[in-house]
Amino acid sequence: MTPATCAVCLRQMNCYGRRLRRTGPEQLNSRNDLVSPPQHSRVNGWSLPLHTFQIVALLFYTYLAIVGFGIYIPLLPHGWKYAAYAVIGVLFAHHLVAHLVAITIDPADQNVLAKKNYSSPMPVFDRGKQKHVIQNQHCYLCEVDVGPKAKHCSACNKCIADFDHHCKWLNNCVGGRNYWFFFNAVASAVLGVFLLILVILYVFIQYFVNPAELRTAPQFERVIENNTWLAFLPVAPAETTAAGILAIAVITVLLGMASLLLLGHLLIFHLYLLGKKLSTFEYMTEQRRTQNTRDPESDVEITENTSVRMDPLQVGSCSPPASRNPSSFWCL
């Protein structure tokens, strides 16, 4: 084999080796990777498509309201019954209003709202011209100047004022314009579910201790058998069995305790953030920075991956590893 032939072989092997070692950032040289397809911005949480979590949350609220106010609160003794109607009723109504307002509000930055042009496709973002969507407080997708804490959410495809996180349960971003409605919805849900669980547990225990205390409503005077119970008092009395009352109680308590655990965890997390004067996004950014400081070997890999996936959109949907994000299940 001549020296020239050896040189050609070596060059081919080196080229082959470079192709095998090619990493993600190098693929940005492809013309197809320089631009992202245009999309329409979402107005609020009612913009289609609705998220599955959003529908589940509304259905679960409806279930608790029907079961609580239709079955178990009417079985309480006379004095406790009206107190439960008042307190739990206010909490459920407050939660519903706060929840719906948090969904309905458009959390976009003020300058984005001033344009009010959600019907047109977003401009194409060229990664070859700008590394980030937002540079020097100017968004190259929304084509407006934004506030210092604004972030461009890829799910809503617009800049959010004082961005906190994107919540799948609201199907909307949580920012400065609707954060307190979100917080009130969480806090009222925790209190409402907790009190409703107490009511159901009281009815469940009292059935075995002294069931007569649960049959004080005037409609029970027309019921002959003790095993026959009434639901949806006093408006539309419907006969049911004790087994049905107890079975629904067990199911509702289990579901309520699961939701109370998750909602309570989320509430404590946001109380912590308020005490630290941090947003969810700022907390997660600090956690990433701390993790990179502790693990310098992975810093290069994380930085490279971030430059490809996160930088062009500033914020996708705020979802770091679940172990470092206490609200990762409820709000992503």
Catalytic residues: 167
Q: CA 123, CA 118: separation in Å to the nearest integer?
A: 12
Query: How many CB atoms lie under 10 A from the CB of residue 142?
Result: 24
CA 160 from centre of chain: 16
What pairing do the DSSP bridges indicate for beta strands 144-145 and 134-135?
unpaired
H helix count then E strand count, the chain: 8, 9
- Please list the residues that pair with 165 across neighbouring strands: 174
Closest CA to 305 of 25, 19, 22, 18: 25
Q: CA 317, CA 332: separation in Å to the nearest integer?
A: 6
Q: Where are the alpha helices (DSSP H) in 138-178?
A: none
For tokens 């109380």, name the residue. 271
Tell me if 301 sits within 8 A of 292, measured CB to CB. Answer: no
Query: Token digits for 42?
Result: 């979402």
Q: CA 143, CA 99: separation in Å to the nearest integer?
A: 31
Q: What is the DSSP string of 266-320?
A: HHHHHHHHHHHT--HHHHHHHHHHHHHHH-HHHHHHHHHHHHHHTGGGSBSS---
Q: CA 268, CA 261: separation in Å to the nearest integer?
A: 11
Query: Token digits for 245?
Result: 């009352």
